[in-house]
Amino acid sequence: DKGNFEHFMLKEIYEQPISIEDTFRGRIAMDHSKIFLGGISDVMPQLSQARRIIIAACGTSWHAGIVGEYLFEEFARIPVEVEYASEFRYRNPIINEDDVIIAISQSGETADTLAAIKMAKEHGATIIGICNVAGSSIPRETHAGVYTHAGVEIGVASTKAFTSQVTVLTMMALLLGKTKGHLKDSVYKELINELTQVPDKIRAILKAETDIKQIADTYKDANNALYLGRGFLFPVALEGALKLKEISYIHAEGYPAAEMKHGPIALIDENMPVFVLATKDKSYEKIVSNIQEVKARNGKVIAIVTEGDEVIKKMADHVIEVPDCHEAIAPLLTCVPLQFISYHIAVMRGCNVDQPRNLAKSVTVE
Ligand code: F6R
């Protein structure tokens, strides 16, 4: 049931404050001092001693995996590789018994992801699932796992499942960082606190829908779009681009912002909208330079910035503000305006938002 919403995708975008709360329900202590992940407690020894973590997934779940890579390396200091399940399984990968494989899948049915974990299991690795659909095939093959509890996602373009996957990965990385002694108790608690503020911060972003819709209107006829981000926001750039292509059929590419000068910059002219993830973090100065590079070539810049940013406001064609947060939390906030952009552009172009052509919600073919 879509309730008062025109499409499931829009409903699911709006559900995110609740779906994220559902993801951490019962997993974060009331006083924000601790994280409990019952589903992986049995494999905590393997996880905290893992020589490396391999994340296997497809599509949007793969993007969540890259956020996971940055989180695990930052907080838990465990090397991570993020693999397209389809490439991983077919290339005779090196898998050891002290590797932990994390499969991320909304549906829990993606054929390549399922086959990848079956193979890794045969090599003796520990397999953990981060899935949304309870009782689906992937959770049945894993040794342990954490359900995302985002609720049923009907729109083919994944929105709330993505933010719940990132929420689980953040909780896992913090818990591991604490267990391994890399995170000071004060930092651990501060980050848990930040995480619990995400639903309210997303509520604030949802209020900007009308303004974001106007930006969508300005760029709805574009033939191409670029999405740029650095650090934790690089995977958000990939996800923003995927969301636009799959539902509006506009060609879009996501790049680490610094890679722009190695090729994509040649594409920039006055017809190219460039979405830049530019919240205040340690690469802020660098991203400001990237925006200048785009403007110097007459590209149109739509920047996602931290509330109150005055510097980028002067340079960009449009800014969309998100509440201030720790840089590790920023993917959860900055992806939301990009979901709105794709949704509104697709609706304005008359596309079937919930059932885009050629796509299926669950990809059970290899
Ligand atoms: C994009 C999208 C797909 C899925 C991919 C993996 O919006 O929905 O890219 O993310 O097919 O699906 P799951 O997560 O079910 O394994």
In this prediction the ipTM stands at 0.98
Long-range contacts of 343-346 (CB under 8 A, 24+ apart): 343/7, 343/9, 343/10, 343/13, 343/216, 343/247, 344/212, 344/213, 344/216, 344/217, 344/220, 345/216, 345/219, 345/220, 345/244, 345/248, 345/250, 346/247, 346/248
Distance 154 CA to ligand 1 centre (A): 12
Closest CA to 136 of 161, 110, 169: 110
Q: CA of 257: how far to CAs of 227, 234, 254, 290, 363, in Å?
A: 8, 8, 9, 7, 31
Q: Does residue 113 have its Cβ closer than 6 Å to ligand 1?
A: yes
pLDDT of residue 362: 84
Q: Identity (one letter) of the amino acid at 203? A: R
In which element (H, E) is residue 336 found? helix 330-348
Q: Which of 213, 245, 286, 361 is catalytic?
A: 361
Query: End-to-end alpha-carbon separation of the chain, Å?
Result: 31
Q: Does residue 110 have its Cβ closer than 6 Å to ligand 1?
A: yes
* Positive/negative CA dihedral, 60, 62, 66, 69: positive
- Is 189 in the active site? no
Structure tokens at 4: 């008062």
Mutation probe of ligand 1 site: the residue of 13, 61, 165 with most atoms within 8 A of C-beta:
61
pTM of the predicted structure, to 2 decimals: 0.98
Distance 270 CA to ligand 1 centre (A): 33
pLDDT of residue 131: 98
Left if phi > 0, otherwise alpha if psi is -120 to 50, otherwise beta: which for 298? Answer: left
d(CA 191, CA 171): 9
* Max CA pair span of the chain: 56
Structure tokens at 166: 């990132």
Q: Does residue 164 have its Cβ closer than 6 Å to ligand 1?
A: no
Which mean pLDDT values do the consecutive 10-residue runs of the chain (366 residues) have?
Answer: 95 98 97 97 97 97 98 98 96 95 98 97 97 98 98 96 98 98 97 98 98 98 98 98 97 97 93 97 96 97 98 98 98 98 98 90 84
| Residue recorded with tokens 């509104």 | 344
In which element (H, E) is residue 348 found? helix 330-348
In three-state secondary structure terms, 147 is strand
